[in-house]
Structure 1
Amino acid sequence: MAHLIGVQDESMIDTLLLDWGNTVMVDFPQQSGPMYRWPWVETLLGAEQSLSRLSQRYCCCLATNAADSTRQDIRQALDRVAIGQYFREIFCYRDIGHAKPSAEFFAFILASLGKEKANLVMIGDDLEKDYLGPMRYGVRAVLFDPCNIAPPGMLRVASWVEIEGMIETLNRSAVA
């Protein structure tokens, strides 16, 4: 199959589903309640710079099981660390009524975005919820694994700096 420059293949990733806690922002275990009310919030190292670049090329969305926060609460937390503008959509358990890794969670997101499974990749730090669950549903996934504890053979990144390269690699393999 020939591919034209500037024409996107149907199987190329154009949407990133990013987990929130310990992928985009630090989830401090001693804190409870909505994150935007916490006395201190911060992003993971490199997240802001990478999101600035990624959001210019991809539709970046949060996909989280946060039970204490609504979409508006999450937006307020993102804005506290000046990254809210990078996320087109926020999908959270509290608003959807389904949690990762359920098929209903991912089906809701696909329907809301009007996307196909091949256009998405889930990136997060939880092996079951952010990697195996999406893969079972047919959505590509990358494990955010800064401690390098993932079993061999899994698509993984150890830092935000590696995410862009991983997405480019996945897209190259989709058109090969």
Structure 2
Amino acid sequence: MSHILFDFFGTLVDYDDGHARAPVRTAAFVSSLGQPMSADEFTARWDEVWMAWEARCAPTRLEFSMLDVARSFLPSASPDEISAFVSVYIAEWNAGVRYLPGLYELLLSLSQRHRLAVVSNTHEPDLVPFHLAAMGVAGLVETVVTSVEVGVRKPSPEIYSSALGRLGIPASSAVFVGDNPSADYFGPLAAGMRAAFLIDPAARHTAVPPAHRLSSVFDLPSVLA
């Protein structure tokens, strides 16, 4: 096994699984465009538009982008205003992302024996590379494959094959590590990867064999050994 493919959110970082908790600056930006609203009003309206996109795309696993949602939310805004809106919102959403102490040392150690990649579902193509750079680990990761770039989300087979194609390896040369059973365990195995490991600290996912469940990503070296 020469490669380790990692999920990102919930695996290499902790994060709040939802929208920005207090989008005060985003609401102020929208208000500056002539649509006055409070942070709570923004969240309610944003959730409504977001869930409409989820309902549209989830059955086919097609991925949508933050720009898609922003255009639906602000239909009369200019392209520059849409881009600025997304930047403000992402900055506030990032407040819920928490870096894991010791991750650099873990990935550095793993990179001595394996080539590393990240395969992540995300609605913003620059988001994962931004965080990898901010954590100082971008140089340890050979490639980053995101659902918004491929056009489909995990566990669609295309996203795994895209990652394997970029790396130039067969599926049997890789293992996958993540925190979602469908996207990060059963999906990679169905794609032909040698093994997958699920981060499951509460041991909730009993369909995954105990030997393939991790309390955190920091358990990985011991199970690989």
TM-score (norm 2): 0.62
Please say if 1:42 is aligned against 2:30.
no
Other-structure match for 1:8: none
Partner of 2:141: 87
Which residue of 2 is the match for residue 156 of structure 1? 213
Structure 1 match to 2:4: 16
Whichever of the two has the greater Rg, that structure is: 2
Relative to 1, partners in 2 of residues 1:107 and 1:144: Cα closer, same or farther, differing over 3 Å? same
Partner secondary structure for residue 42 of structure 1: strand
Separation in structure 1 between the aligned mates of residue 116 and residue 90 of structure 2, nearest angstrom: 22
More helix by share: 2
SS in 1 for 2:152: coil
Deviations 1:134-160 (A, max 9, x none): 112211211111222221625111123
Aligned AA for 1:29?
D
Structure 1: give runs of 5+ residues left out of the alignment: 1-12, 169-176
Counterparts of 1:123 and 1:89, CA distance in 2: 15
User: Cα–Cα, structure 1 residues 102 and 58, in superposed 2: closer, same or farther, change >3 Å?
Assistant: same
| Residue 173 of structure 2 corresponds to residue 119 of structure 1 | yes
Task: Report the aligned-residue RMSD.
Answer: 2.2
Distance 2:143 2:181 in 1: 23
Give runs of aligned pairs for residues 1-176 of structure 1, distance below 5 A: 13-29=1-17, 31-32=19-20, 34=90, 38-39=94-95, 41-67=97-123, 69-70=124-125, 72-139=126-193, 140-151=195-206, 153-154=209-210, 155-168=212-225
SS at match of 2:5: strand
Paired with 2:90 and 2:2, the residues of 1 have a C-alpha distance of: 30
Identity %: 23
Q: Residues 76, 138 of structure 1: CA spacing in aligned structure 2 closer, same or farther, 3 A cutoff?
A: same
Residue 144 of structure 1 aligns to which amino acid in structure 2? I
Distance in 2 separating the partners of 1:49 and 1:20: 17
In the TM superposition, what whole-angstrom CA distance separates every residue of 1:68-118 from its partner, at most 9, and x where no partner exists?
x21x33211122222222211101001111211111111111111110111
CA distance in 2, matches of 1:91, 1:45: 24
**Given residue 219 of structure 2, which amino acid in structure 1 is its aligned partner?**
E
The answer for the alignment partner of 1:172 in structure 2 is none
Q: 1:150 to 1:48 in 2, by over 3 A?
A: farther
Q: d(CA) in 1 for partners of 2:92 and 2:131? A: 4
